[in-house]
């Protein structure tokens, strides 16, 4: 569905993941242009409120139950898109982007989605090791990257150990010796070791 292209007309845009601090940054950026009428959807929380809901830049803020199934989330999103007449939907988090990618055909009967790749490409890009393999295959320069079980490599220390999926520097551990590396590797699931990751 094409965006309406009436230069004097405001365009409604729906920003998802309002519970994320990144969503507020996106809203502030969109607000720099007077063309956008901004709507946000966030997940309900018993423990915290959503500062974004108080933003002067919003036309509306919608709260969804956090335990919706994927189908339930898509149904609610489509209902709110119809209600707000959002011409564009912008996901913020990886998990929401994956939901939109998987339900693209259904959603694009009502609205446009921010540029999203195919699911296989998206999954390769969000996994650091998969991305490194793609970059190596394409001869794209990148830092040397080894799998978690990199026993056979001649590693020089210090080394940075990163979770396969994270962002913003979260979960990075510096190890200065093979002993520290072995102690860190003793935990089978790196994601459960690093705080702040799901």
Q: Do 18 and 110 sit in the same domain of this protein?
A: yes
Domain-terminating residue out of 55, 88, 120: 120
Place of tokens 């729906």: 14
132 falls within a domain: no
Whether 125 maps to a domain, the answer reads: no
Give a yes or no: residue 144 inside a domain.
Answer: yes
pLDDT at 126 > cutoff 90? no
Burial class from Cβ neighbours inside 10 Å (0-12, 13-18, 19+) for residue 53 reads middle
Range of the domain at 53: 11-120
- 71 with 163, same domain: the answer is no
When the pLDDT of each residue in the chain is averaged and rounded to a whole number, the result is 84
Looking at the structure, tell me whether residues 111 and 154 fall in a common domain: no
- Name the domain count of the chain: 2
Global confidence as pTM: 0.74
- Summarised one tens digit per residue, pLDDT across range 72-110 is 999 999 999 999 999 999 999 999 999 999 999 999 999
Is 32 found in the same domain as 101?
Answer: yes
**Contact predicate 27/50, CB 8 Å:** no
Q: Are residues 25 and 86 located together in one domain of the fold?
A: yes
Percent of the chain with pLDDT over 90: 51
User: What is the per-residue pLDDT for 19?
Assistant: 92
Residue 153 lies in a domain: yes
- What is the structure's pLDDT at 193? 46
Residues 16, 114: one domain? yes
Q: Does the residue 49 lie in any domain?
A: yes
H-helix or E-strand containing 106?
Answer: helix 104-107
Say if strands 173-175 and 159-161 run parallel, antiparallel, or are unpaired. antiparallel
Final residue belonging to a domain, choices 120, 151, 173: 120
Q: What is the CATH number of the domain that holds 59?
A: 3.40.50.20
Tell me if 45 sits within 8 A of 75, measured CB to CB. Answer: no
Query: pLDDT digit string (tens) for 138-166?
Result: 999 988 777 666 555 677 888 777 776 66
């Amino acid at each position: 569905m094409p965006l309406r292209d009436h230069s004097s007309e405001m365009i409604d845009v729906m920003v998802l993941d309002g519970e994320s601090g990144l969503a507020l940054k996106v809203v502030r950026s969109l607000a720099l242009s007077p063309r956008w009428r901004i709507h946000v959807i966030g997940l309900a929380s018993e423990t915290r409120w959503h500062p974004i809901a108080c933003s002067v830049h919003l036309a509306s803020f919608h709260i969804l139950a956090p335990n919706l199934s994927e189908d339930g989330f898509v149904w609610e999103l489509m209902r709110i898109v119809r209600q707000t007449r959002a011409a564009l939907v912008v996901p913020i988090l990886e998990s929401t982007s994956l939901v939109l990618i998987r339900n693209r055909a259904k959603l694009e009967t009502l609205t446009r989605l921010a540029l999203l790749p195919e699911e296989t490409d998206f999954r390769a890009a969000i996994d650091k090791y998969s991305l490194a393999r793609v970059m190596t295959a394409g001869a794209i320069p990148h830092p040397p990257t080894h799998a978690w079980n990199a026993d056979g490599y001649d590693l020089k220390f210090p080394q940075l150990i990163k979770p396969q999926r994270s962002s913003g520097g979260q979960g990075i551990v510096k190890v200065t010796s093979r002993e520290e590396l072995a102690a860190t590797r003793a935990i089978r699931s790196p994601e459960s070791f690093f705080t702040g990751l799901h």
